[in-house]
Amino acid sequence: MRFEIKTDQDRFSDKLSLSLAISIITFFAILFTNISLNINKLTSYAEINYLCKLILVEKSQSNIKKLSKLTKQLKKQKIWDICRELSS
């Protein structure tokens, strides 16, 4: 006769691999979120810089409105100050 004993090694390895997979997915989700937020900041800064250069060359009302939305400034003087700081 032959006797076999079942062990719980499979259960431990399944839980370990599941927790490892969840940890890796969480890490990459945080990493991609961080990268996308940084790219958003960079593109916003580049757009503000571009619109400020346009305003300094051609004083268009539509460019001032776009800058007002991006910088969340309502007064033209503050927008001009921001553009002067960026051009310096």
Tell me, yes or no, if the pTM score tops 0.85. Answer: no
> Does residue 3 sit within a domain?
no
Structurally, how many domains does the chain consist of? 1
> Does residue 4 sit within a domain?
no
* Nearest Cα to Cα of residue 52 among 80, 20, 15: 80
Looking at per-residue confidence, does 79 or 12 come out higher? Answer: 79
> Does residue 38 sit within a domain?
yes
Residue 31 belongs to what domain range?
9-87
Predicted pLDDT at 12: 57
Q: 79: exposed, middle or buried (C-beta count within 10 Å: 0-12, 13-18, 19+)?
A: buried
Residue with tokens 């499979």: 10
> Does residue 78 sit within a domain?
yes
> Does residue 70 sit within a domain?
yes
**Separation between Cα atoms, residue 86 and residue 76, nearest integer Å:** 15
Looking at per-residue confidence, does 39 or 69 come out higher? Answer: 39
